[in-house]
């Protein structure tokens, strides 16, 4: 249950705060633990010479995770010329360092509660994850692609927990899907005295995600001055930029508007941080859109 997470949140080396009221509420919120397969993989991956077969076998043991991993590695995010047919092939081809973030990402989705109200939410999250991987490559940060994919799927992971915990949250979920999420955290704090970003950061910590990803999840909708405040590392700022770019593109696909309030608030800062001008940005955006179109064709 969440009580262990509330006490250990203080160990996160950054300015995440949980109020007394939140602690009281969060005591009744169920944050899913890491599945056994993921724990086994994590233990093996930490060894000086990890056994690839043990890792592959552990993935195969969990049917939901293994099928989702194969779907991801054969998706537009990887754009592989030859289809990967098995988990063992995926681990051998991508390597442990690349496959591990993907396993965490799909394991999370499998662990979170299912609800038909989340169908559009997960569709959007999956598209954002793919876009994150593509943008990482296109801005010259391929080393971030796998963690960026995981962040794309993970960044709103507090939403399913909110839906499970509060009876009327489906109304907030609908508002977020149709109108955008920029003002949702403030609405959540007024209505529920916590937010999906706080729960998402707690979940990310429990699943032992990298510090940079926890930072982005927690500050995702609290971004005023974030590029100059020094609160986020450069890696976090790259991941934040990639995620905002990806959400803007997916909003363009799903809602017909990529120039959302969320994007406008940070556009200038992101372009300056990435050292891009508007023409370069449009060229990159077009390449991402083409990748999605090729997948649908």
Q: Where are the domains of the chain?
A: 3-31+114-296, 33-111
> How do residues 209-268 score in pLDDT, each as one tens digit?
889 999 999 999 888 889 998 889 999 999 999 999 999 999 999 888 888 888 999 999
CA atoms within 13 A on the CB side of 112: 29
What beta strand segments (E) does 203-243 contain? none
- pLDDT confidence of 9, banded at 50, 70, 90? very low
What is the distance between the alpha carbons of residues 220 and 117, in angstroms, rounded to a whole number?
23
What pLDDT was estimated at residue 296? Answer: 62
For the chain, percent of residues with pLDDT exceeding 70: 93
- pLDDT confidence of 1, banded at 50, 70, 90? very low
Q: Which two tokens stand for residue 42?
A: 């994590």
Q: Is the pLDDT of residue 159 over 90?
A: yes
What pLDDT was estimated at residue 248? Answer: 95
What pLDDT was estimated at residue 148? Answer: 94
What pLDDT was estimated at residue 12? Answer: 37
> How do residues 59-93 score in pLDDT, each as one tens digit?
898 888 888 888 888 887 777 778 899 999 988 88
DSSP secondary structure, 171-195, as one string: HHHHHHHHH-STTHHHHHHHHHSS-
What pLDDT was estimated at residue 78? Answer: 76
Q: Is the pLDDT of residue 141 over 60?
A: yes
Mean pLDDT across the stretch 166-184? 88
Mean pLDDT across the stretch 117-130? 90
Q: Is the pLDDT of residue 295 over 80?
A: no
Q: Mean pLDDT, the chain, as a whole number? A: 86
Q: Which of 226, 186, 193 is nearest to 18 (CA)?
A: 193
For the chain, percent of residues with pLDDT exceeding 90: 40
What pLDDT was estimated at residue 16? Answer: 66
> How do residues 37-57 score in pLDDT, each as one tens digit?
888 888 888 888 888 899 999
- pLDDT confidence of 10, banded at 50, 70, 90? very low
What is the distance between the alpha carbons of residues 57 and 296, in angstroms, rounded to a whole number?
32
Q: What is 3-31+114-296's CATH topology?
A: Hypothetical protein af1432 (1.10.3210)
- pLDDT confidence of 101, banded at 50, 70, 90? confident
CA atoms within 13 A on the CB side of 130: 25
What pLDDT was estimated at residue 7? Answer: 32
């Amino acid at each position: 249950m969440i009580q262990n997470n509330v006490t250990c949140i203080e160990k996160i080396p950054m300015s995440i705060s949980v109020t007394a009221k939140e602690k009281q509420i969060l005591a009744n919120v169920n944050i899913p633990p890491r599945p056994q397969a993921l724990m086994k993989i994590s233990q093996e991956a930490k060894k000086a010479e990890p056994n690839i077969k043990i890792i592959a076998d552990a993935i195969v043991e969990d049917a939901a995770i293994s099928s989702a991993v194969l779907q991801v590695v054969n998706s537009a995010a990887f754009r592989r010329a030859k289809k990967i047919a098995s988990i063992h092939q995926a681990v051998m081809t991508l390597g442990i360092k690349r496959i591990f973030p993907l396993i965490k990402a799909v394991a999370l989705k499998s662990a979170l509660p299912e609800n038909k109200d989340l169908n559009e939410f997960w569709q959007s999250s999956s598209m954002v994850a793919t876009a994150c991987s593509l943008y990482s490559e296109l801005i010259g940060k391929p080393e971030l692609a796998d963690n960026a994919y995981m962040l794309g799927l993970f960044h709103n992971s507090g939403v399913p927990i909110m839906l499970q915990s509060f009876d009327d949250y489906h109304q907030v979920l609908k508002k977020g899907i149709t109108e955008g999420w920029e003002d949702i955290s403030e609405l959540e704090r007024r209505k529920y005295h916590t937010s999906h970003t706080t729960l998402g950061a707690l979940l990310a910590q429990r699943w032992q995600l990298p510090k940079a990803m926890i930072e982005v999840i927690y500050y995702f909708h609290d971004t005023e001055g974030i590029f100059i405040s020094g609160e986020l590392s450069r890696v976090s700022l790259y991941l934040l930029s990639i995620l905002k770019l990806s959400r803007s593109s997916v909003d363009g696909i799903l809602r017909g508007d990529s120039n959302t309030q969320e994007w406008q608030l940070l556009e200038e800062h992101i372009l300056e941080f990435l050292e891009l001008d508007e023409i370069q940005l449009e060229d990159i955006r077009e390449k991402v859109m083409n990748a999605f179109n090729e997948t649908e064709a």
